[in-house]
Amino acid sequence: MQGKIAILMGSESDRETMSSAETTLKEFGIECDVLIMSAHRNPDKVKEFSSKARENGYKAIICGAGYAAHLAGVVASHTTLPVLAVPIDSSSLKGIDSLYASVMMPSGIPVAVFTIGKTGAKNAAIFAVEMFAVSDSETESRLKKMRDGWN
């Protein structure tokens, strides 16, 4: 399988939540890089990474962020790769603020948004696996095996 997935998070405190995305991708044999970069604290770093992600071999980017959760939107504005957003429960609003920030993207800059927290991170990774499975029969077979195990 060619290509890899980037998992970005706004801060180190998001790592626990996003670890389920990394674990899931590794279970499927999909290479991933985990990076910390904030849309607010490191906007130039986010722009640089996002604008070169395709040429650096990435096939999709999973972004986890809390509070205003602008990371996925900023990433999406600098790449044509699929961007998957995981809202993180890091405020007194329990992640609802992050969910709204992720969902409310302007026309032309789509972001796929998943549920808040670890379940969302795992589902974002499974969604990325499904994208790989479109053109990779080995990945499709692994995906079917996982789902058959649910029954």
Q: Which residues are annotated binding-site positions for substrate?
A: 11, 14, 41
Between the alpha carbon of residue 145 and those of residues 27, 31, 150, 151, the distances in Å are: 12, 20, 9, 10
d(CA 87, CA 78): 20
Structural contact between residues 71 and 43, judged by C-beta atoms closer than 8 angstroms: no
- Apex 21 CA angle, 16 and 23, nearest 5: 85
d(CA 113, CA 110): 9
Structural contact between residues 87 and 98, judged by C-beta atoms closer than 8 angstroms: yes
Binding region: 11, 14, 41
Structural contact between residues 127 and 95, judged by C-beta atoms closer than 8 angstroms: no
Q: Which residues contact 137 (CB under 8 A, 6 or more apart)?
A: none
